[in-house]
Structure 1
Amino acid sequence: MEITASIIGKRCADFDEIKMQTTRIAERFDPEKIILFGSYAYGKPTPQSDVDLLIIVDTNESTLKLSSEIALSLEHSFPLDIIVKTPKQIKRRLQNGDFFIEDIINLGKVIYERTNKRMD
């Protein structure tokens, strides 16, 4: 299930705004990777377009709960759609032939990637 945090907007988000939200997510939730997909990554966004992010987080916490936490932690002036998955969930969905996830991985733009693995 995906969590959508939308605000009705009349303009397209600019990349600096998207990057600022990505930085906030990275600082607070320590994801492995954030991938921009949809019209902002491989199309021409319109004022009605939302910003689509796949956030990959290595966690034992419910990804639905984490999606909600991330969405509620952000202040943004553009429609934002967040999908949170663990690396295991991504691997399983790719093995099962999930074309949606495959397209995101293959066509999306990685806008954040953690450089060092955590040592928990």
Structure 2
Amino acid sequence: MFEKEEIPDEDYIFYRVHKNLTDNKNEILPNVFRDKGTSMSTDWERYSSAQDTQDRGKTPTDNFILKLNVGKVRSKITLQVEHDPIDDNQAHTSVLGEKDTEARIHLMRISKIILPLSFHE
């Protein structure tokens, strides 16, 4: 089991988004920011690459990867970022707090697509 660590504000996390949550233009929409269970699951860049995060999806090519700065996520009072390693993923991190419309728009504005989808016409 991996030790839980404090994530510095200057670090980054990766968030995997399924293609069904976008409009086929690689645009970040507020609705992509959602909890699975009690938190939004992400990966800490210290222990994962964007490609590693994408590869953990059921069908990796069906997902694009967003990069978010931890300090900017935390700047929204309702959101917390905690290292939450699991047996097969030391990078696993949880974004806790309500993802209301205001929080989702905040996350959308601070996100950058780091691995886009490849659309085939």
The answer to whether TM tops 0.5 is: no
TM-score by length of 1: 0.38
TM-score by length of 2: 0.38
More strand by share: 2
